[in-house]
Amino acid sequence: MKINTTYEKKTCTLTVEGSIDALTAPELEQAVNTAAPQCEKMIIDMTDVDYISSAGLRVVVGANHKVGKGNLTVRGLSTNVYEIFRMTGFTKYLNIE
């Protein structure tokens, strides 16, 4: 997995490539924890993510709590990854573009 973090004003964007699973989720969590204090809004761009496990979903939920409910946007979900978010019910309370 590869993560690139960019900052523009009070919004940080984490662009993620690869799979987010039990082995790589801690890396994403560290990137979220590093970026969160510097941003009011966070975008996690998953355009190039091909898989997310429950460990990855936990990190996304944690990011939502860290930046404040409603200040996290998840974008660029492939059909397969979107389906995982939908089946877990996360599409009901996360901002997904």
**CATH top-level class of 2-96:** alpha beta
pLDDT in tens, 44-83: 999 999 999 999 999 999 999 999 878 999 999 999 999 9
pLDDT in tens, 1-27: 999 999 999 999 999 999 999 999 999
Confidence at residue 49, expressed as pLDDT on a 0 to 100 scale: 97
Extents of the domains making up the chain: 2-96
Confidence at residue 93, expressed as pLDDT on a 0 to 100 scale: 85
User: 0.85 exceeded by the pTM?
Assistant: yes
Q: In the predicted model, what is the mean pLDDT of the chain?
A: 95
Q: Name the residue among 65, 64, 67, 56 with its Cα closest to residue 96.
A: 64
Q: Are strands 41-52 and 72-75 parallel, antiparallel or unpaired?
A: parallel
